[in-house]
Structure 1
Amino acid sequence: MPVQQIATWSPYCGVAPAPGELVQRWNLDPWLLAALALLAAGYVLHRRRGGAGRDGLVALAGLLLVVSFVSPLCAASSALFSARATHHALLVAAAAPLLAFGLPRRAIPALPLAPAVALHAAALWLWHAPGLYAWALSSDLAYWLMQAGLLGTALAFWSAVRRAGVLAGAAGLFVTMMQTGLLGALLTFAAEPLYAPHLASTWAFGLSPLADQQLAGLIMWAPMAGAYLLAALALVGRSLSPVRVAPA
């Protein structure tokens, strides 16, 4: 694709930054900041009224949302597909489970485990299809549709895991680990770069578009897929812990 076409990409997080200006590229979109503040205030009010919740998990999830959308990671994801993969991993494999296990169960709509696994997988694969991904980096509406699709289906998935039995939940996590790892492997071993928005923006960071894509694939293949495996092992391990019997 000619450079003049690539230069027309206008992602929500702004044009791709140069490495030297990255530290200054905080996203101070007032609508985003207001939405995050309203969500935080809503949770605080819920707790003051006696509602259930795990404050530490919810606070950590909120911090990860700030890192994902407000910090310079947002701008970096306009330049590097590997930064975008990191952003997505933080959303679906870190912030989503923290919210799913930190908020009251009724706060997230219930779905059976199998449909939740399928919906989450569909969102991951669809939004990493080159055409839809390019659309998300050329339209604010498409960008937020991508974020809502990934985070929303991840919340449904982790909430279904929380509600499911140990074996069913572990199986759902294992299936998700496999399909996430497969997507990462396909990106890692692709013979050419697939994502037009990053064909000209990676060189300033010392990476070719293909090397950047391979790094993104490794992020999805190892740490992101590994998060699902660790969660499955933790679920099974907790179920095998000896039951403490209170003294008579």
Structure 2
Amino acid sequence: MKNLSGTMVKLFYLLLISCLMRNVFGKNVFDQLTKKGDTIIKEARTDNMTRECSCDEENFCGTEIKEEVFDCFETCWFSVKSITDHPEQLKQCLKDKAYIIDQIISCLHEKAESCVPGMDGPQIHYIDINKIIKSADAQIHLQADKFTKTLPNSARDLLEAAITVGTCVKECFQEKNQGGFCFDHKGCQPKIETKEMRNALKKCSKELEWQKEAAEMCDCAYKAGVGRVQQYCDMIHAMNRHKPS
């Protein structure tokens, strides 16, 4: 979809970490970020026009962008050595949860109505993807800074490691696309209407079983040598046991 770059990967890691604590601290980084989505998109919209992508083009570019992001992820993974002696094992934990990104993309594709069936889509305002990445990145850092202040010292370096990896991936992705993004080469873009995208993000977020995903991710991280997460794993499992059926 629209901006699945290092920003999306960074958001992915923030989501995994934040959902470990969201029921404890009442925070949800994803919700905070979606509230800023309208402003980010409006600021990135230009007076130039482009064709609305066909759904095939959108899927093609989404796949290409995702592959570039995960190539960058492999390159940037060195950053997590600060939190575990088994970085490869922890990396596999995150890779095993990569399907979350696919679920979000598929859900957005279905609910946001951002493409048309054929190659003769209408003209829409061109959106500066680099500007979206820059603005979203700034918001992620802002929310992460606020979120970090609510965390005990034992958990802060986990979030900092996620930010470091995400920043590296973002820079790597942008370097790969210095000559233009996939959508630029196709001569089209997905149609991004702020209201529809915001509603789609909320619906897609609700469809994910965050507590279940958090519990599995937490257990995996603990087994990968991140011992300080054990107390959070215990809390999440306790909340899952008492969750209304």
Fold equivalence (TM over 0.5): no
Specify which structure has the bigger relative contact order, considering alpha-carbon pairs within 8 angstroms and separated by 6 or more residues: 2
TM-score between the two structures when normalised by the length of structure 2: 0.26
